[in-house]
Chain A
Amino acid sequence: MNLSMTLSRSVESEEQINRHPVYWHILDEHVLPKMLKVLAPITLLTIGVALYMALFFAPREATMGDAQRIFYFHVPSAWIGFLAFFIVFVASVMFLVKRERRWDALALSAAEIGVVFTTLVLLTGPLWAKAAWGAFWVWDARLTTTLVLWLVYVGYLMLRSSVDDLRRARLAAVLGIIGFLDVPVIYLSVTWWRTMHPTLVVNDSGGLDSAMRMTLMVALLSFTLLFAWLLLLRTQLEQKQDELTIKRVLSEE
């Protein structure tokens, strides 16, 4: 069965057809703009503060110099990638259990954003590595497992970019769940295997300098806000696409 058909069957009356399908109240046309009016400036301001702190507030690292400052946005990119794929995992489970299109839309939106941020991890990491290790890429456990994660979710998006078939949506949900199993492997890779990748120590005893730690925290907050903004927008885009699909299917009948 086609996803469009499923969608059109869920619309029962002419009144509902004219109304917009609203997956969650937060995505309503009257609610979301108000939310974004608050969220967008706060996000941009926080990113600006994080950028200022990364460039001017955090001290220059003794051995690596300025290249170490890549770290302040490399780590938050990885964090957002993990968060996004966790949402894909949860939403995929919910989709398989409830068979509601809104969970599928959420999983797809989170997967796309997760791939964008993991791409940033894979682009900024080598730039840091060149300064630290003298090579852009080594087949280290953490690097390799991160690349595998990226490939899995690129595969997920490729699967979804073709026909909007319900079977494909289910298959993608299974892939979304299995793919997430790589996230704890990436996290624990530095303890399981001998690896060159540094382990992040943020506590007071012998870890990051306090100004560096504070900068990292602000950068993490700024990217988390950006993620929330993008996820809301992207999921609403799926909702609007479905609205269009419903209209088209019904006008054909």
Chain B
Amino acid sequence: MINLVIAYGVITVVLVTYTAAIYWRRRKIERTLQAE
């Protein structure tokens, strides 16, 4: 059971972090584009 919890936890953390990182990088570029 613990392996299942760890596996699903890892999948969630990795995918949420990666998706958030893309949105964050996008926002950063958009702000720079507006500023320049």
Contact = CB atoms under 8 A, between A and B. Distances in A.
Contacts of B26: 233, 236-237, 240
Contacts of B3: 67, 70, 127-128, 130-131
A219 to B, nearest CB: 11
Contacts of B32: 244
B4 A237 contact: no
Interface of A: 51, 65-67, 69-70, 73-74, 77, 116, 119-120, 123-124, 127-128, 130-131, 226, 230, 233-234, 236-237, 240-241, 243-244, 247-248, 251
Given A116-B18, A120-B10, A251-B36, A66 B4 contact: yes
Given A70-B4, A116-B18, A240 B11 contact: no
A234 B26 CA distance: 9
B36 A247 contact: yes
Contacts of A251: 36
- B interface, how many residues as a size bin? 20 to 34
Contacts of B6: 127
A248 B36 contact: yes
6 contacts: A65-B1, A123-B7, A127-B7, A128-B3, A226-B15, A234-B22
B11 A247 contact: no
A131 B7 CA distance: 12
B10 to A, nearest CB: 5
A46 to B, nearest CB: 14
Residue among B4, B6, B26, B32 having the largest count of chain A Cβ atoms under 10 Å: B4
Interface of B: 1, 3-4, 6-8, 10-11, 14-15, 18-19, 22-23, 25-26, 29-30, 32-33, 36
A25 B5 CA distance: 41
A230 B29 contact: no
A73 B29 contact: no
A116 B22 CA distance: 13
Given A65-B1, A226-B15, A241-B29, A124 B22 contact: no
B11 A73 contact: yes
B18 to A, nearest CB: 5
Closest 10 CB pairs of A and B: A127-B3, A70-B7, A127-B7, A124-B7, A240-B29, A67-B3, A66-B1, A66-B4, A233-B22, A123-B10
Given A244-B29, A247-B33, 7 more contacts: A51-B8, A67-B3, A69-B4, A116-B14, A124-B11, A127-B7, A244-B33
Nearest to B10: A123
B9 to A, nearest CB: 10
